[in-house]
Amino acid sequence: MLERLMNCMLKTRDQINDISLYPSEPSSSLELMKREFTKYVNDVIKQVEASNLSHIIRKTDQLNSFFTDGSNINLELEYLIADFEYSGFPDSVEEIETFIQIISNAKSRYAKVIAIISFYQNIPLLNELIGDEQSIILVGKNGVGKSTLVNDLKRDKLHNLFCIPAQKYLYMTGSSSTRLSNIDQVQDLFVSQNLKVQGVFSYVGAEGDTYELFSKIIDFIVREHQSSKSDGEGTQISKLDEVNQIYSKIFDDIVFKTDSFSGQLNPRKEVSYHINSLSDGEKSALFYIICAVLAKEKTIFVIDEPETHMNMAICNKLWDLILETRKDCKFIFISHNSDFITSRLESRIMWCQKYKNIGEFELTSLDTNGIGIDNKLLIELVGSRKPILFCEGETNSLDYQLFNILYSDRYLIKPIKGHRDVIEAVKAVKKLGTVGSSVVGLIDRDFYSQDILDNYKEIGVYHLPVNEVEMLLMKEPIVEKVLSEAVKGATFEDVKNEVRKSISNKKERQAGAYVKYVIEGEFFRVSNLTNRLDISDAHTTISSNLQKMEQIFDERVSEIENLIDNDDYDKLISICNLKGEIVNGVMSKFENEYAKRALLKIKNSPDLQDYLRDLIALP
């Protein structure tokens, strides 16, 4: 079909260019019009080629039910091709006005081509968003255009797209001046909703805002319920019955009843009370359920922040029930909540990297299979506007607390247990291409050789200038800052003397820890063992290495002694691995809760923060 269309456009262009005028008409004027017409046609052809119309045609059949009733691209193109094919052109004309009219009539057909392309240009986008899955979750950083994407779809002929915004002011007002008299009017009101709520709200509810919607649909189900029970002599199932059936599975102590005297819908536990007295979570659940019950067949629901006001247990159960109830519908959730996203086991996760308009967007289906990280972490990665910094520890650990002070303005800090976990997490995220382009790791120096640390830096894993993070708090400017307000009147020299003494007393223990690392990390490192000769070679290598144990131990003890003798405090604490024995033990002689007070000083001192950032030297 596309080839036929292109041939028709080219044929029409050539036929018009072959028309001649009577001799008295200046040929330059004729040639100018022909050249302008040819340029116009060529521009249209370029737009057709750029539109990927053949792809649009293939996908449209799968998505026709989501378009305005009667839309059919194949039928429209057939009509247009027939219009081109049955339009004849004379060999010559006697009046310039006639020639202008011929060009004008032809241009109207080309304009229809552009109109059809424009009408269906959102097919590639819809194909990404509406697949075999019942639901997808749209994730991405704030400001990349997710809401604009949805609102553009609303403007582009989708007759059954129902947007539920994150801002939901669910407050029941008095009866609206414009009541909804039938379910068609309810459904028309649904599809007129924008994803982003604009303007200032008042408790009276202006026309078109979510107060008005909440009040109108509750008023409707009250009247529909009372009518169905009256007309059906109490046997007909009403929309309110359907709402209660779902709602009771979430809040089993609440049932909604209508007040025949006031015409209101009231929740009831032991006694009835006003609907506005429900909690925000209870009202949100009620609103979602009513919308699901009243929406028309094959509605595409777009729900921004579907977890708002609800704990995750209730939220998960609610959406499980709604999706089970409306299997005919599609659901597009927009969320940043990793707990909600990972709970939707059968949903496809779509990462919106950029959306500017229907023809310019970047959507990627996220899948962590074979990558080595879980979906929860992946969601946080793609939803963060900052680069990710993986560090050792947990949220209550010194690592996280310190790095949160130093880097929270530049990075999203993610503590992830030990150093090997950090290294593997960075490697895994790097496999995700664009997603992993802004992630770094930060680990203790431990006993790693410089070659190994340099290799880690190549993949984006940086190291502290000390073996243990606690030793950063023992740097002179930080100790001085804490001591300046301590009540015991100690000096930094006093601290140095006690630190040297403690390290000296435990130098053999520290040397032993170093030898243990060398044995586990270096001595038993062998190549693949594929035969008996390999085994023999490995045995020889390991035996030779083990004979060096005492030498390595003695060298480490000697290094510690030399640093103490030479008063090289910075180097001494950089290789120290006594952790809390220094920060909590030695320093308790000078200040109670030293680590806590040091963190507080760093938090309140931009100079100390700059000092530590320079030491750590992250990119």
Percentage of residues in the chain having pLDDT higher than 90: 29
Top pLDDT among 436 and 449 is at 449
Lowest-pLDDT choice from 188-197, 258-267, 384-393: 188-197
Q: What is the mean pLDDT of residues 434-447?
A: 80
What's the rounded Cα separation, in Å, for the pair 535 and 316?
A: 55
Q: What is the mean pLDDT of residues 416-432?
A: 84
- CA nearest to 619, candidates 459, 471, 469: 459
Would the pLDDT of 204 be above 70? no
- CA nearest to 473, candidates 591, 380, 296: 591
Tokens representing 560? 């510690």
Q: What is the mean pLDDT of residues 544-573?
A: 86
Q: pLDDT tens digits for 565-608? A: 999 999 999 999 887 899 999 998 898 889 999 999 999 999 99
Would the pLDDT of 144 be above 90? no
- CA nearest to 190, candidates 167, 168, 162, 166: 162
What's the rounded Cα separation, in Å, for the pair 337 and 376?
A: 9
Position 354 scores a pLDDT of 79
Would the pLDDT of 405 be above 90? yes
Helix, coil or strand: residue 122:
coil
Lowest-pLDDT choice from 5-9, 35-39, 89-93, 376-380: 376-380
- Asked if 122 and 336 count as a contact pair (C-beta separation under 8 A), the reply is no
Handedness of CA 42, 46, 48, 54 (dihedral sign): positive
Would the pLDDT of 384 be above 90? no
Position 200 scores a pLDDT of 42
Top pLDDT among 418 and 386 is at 418
- Asked if 585 and 539 count as a contact pair (C-beta separation under 8 A), the reply is no
Dihedral angle, C-alpha 556, 561, 565, 566, nearest 10 °: 10
Q: What is the mean pLDDT of residues 258-271?
A: 81
Q: pLDDT tens digits for 110-133? A: 998 888 777 776 666 766 777 778
Position 586 scores a pLDDT of 92
Q: At what angle do helices 210-231 and 280-294 cross, to 10 degrees?
A: 60
E strands, 425-528, are 439-443, 461-463
Q: What is the mean pLDDT of residues 283-290?
A: 94
Q: What is the mean pLDDT of residues 42-46?
A: 89
Lowest-pLDDT choice from 64-73, 116-125, 399-408, 468-477: 64-73
Position 201 scores a pLDDT of 41
Top pLDDT among 307 and 149 is at 307
- Asked if 310 and 339 count as a contact pair (C-beta separation under 8 A), the reply is no
Q: What is the mean pLDDT of residues 222-230?
A: 83
Residue type present at position 167: Q
What's the rounded Cα separation, in Å, for the pair 63 and 414?
A: 41
Position 402 scores a pLDDT of 95
- Asked if 195 and 163 count as a contact pair (C-beta separation under 8 A), the reply is yes
Cβ-defined contacts of 307-315 (< 8 Å, 24+): 307/335, 307/337, 307/339, 307/340, 308/166, 308/168, 308/284, 309/279, 309/280, 309/281, 309/283, 309/284, 310/281, 310/284, 310/285, 311/281, 312/339, 312/340, 312/343, 314/250, 314/281, 314/285, 315/340, 315/343
What's the rounded Cα separation, in Å, for the pair 212 and 357?
A: 30
What's the rounded Cα separation, in Å, for the pair 591 and 3?
A: 84
Beta bridge partners of 67: 158
DSSP string covering 284-338, please?
HHHHHHHHHHHSPTT-EEEEESTTTTS-HHHHHHHHHHHHHHTTTSEEEEE---H
What average pLDDT is seen over the chain? 81
- pTM tops 0.85: no
Position 540 scores a pLDDT of 62
Would the pLDDT of 231 be above 70? no
Domain ranges of the chain: 2-121, 132-365, 376-616
58's enclosing H/E stretch is helix 53-63
259's enclosing H/E stretch is strand 255-259
Instruction: Report, in this order, helix, strand and coil percent for the chain, each rounded to 5.
Output: 55, 10, 30
What's the rounded Cα separation, in Å, for the pair 164 and 302?
A: 6
Q: What is the mean pLDDT of residues 297-317?
A: 89
Q: What is the CATH number of domain 132-365?
A: 3.40.50.300
123's enclosing H/E stretch is helix 123-129
Position 367 scores a pLDDT of 67
Confidence of residue 343 (pLDDT cuts 50, 70, 90): confident
Tokens representing 587? 């320093």
Position 171 scores a pLDDT of 82
Tokens representing 39? 């340029």
- The contacts of residue 521 (CB under 8 Å, 6+ apart) are 447
Tell me the chain's radius of gyration from C-alpha atoms. 36
Q: pLDDT tens digits for 490-540? A: 899 999 999 999 999 999 998 888 888 877 665 555 556 566 666 665 566
- CA nearest to 332, candidates 151, 134, 168: 134
Q: pLDDT tens digits for 233-263? A: 556 788 999 999 999 999 998 999 888 777 7
Confidence of residue 65 (pLDDT cuts 50, 70, 90): low
Tokens representing 525? 């490192």
What's the rounded Cα separation, in Å, for the pair 330 and 296?
A: 12
Position 198 scores a pLDDT of 53
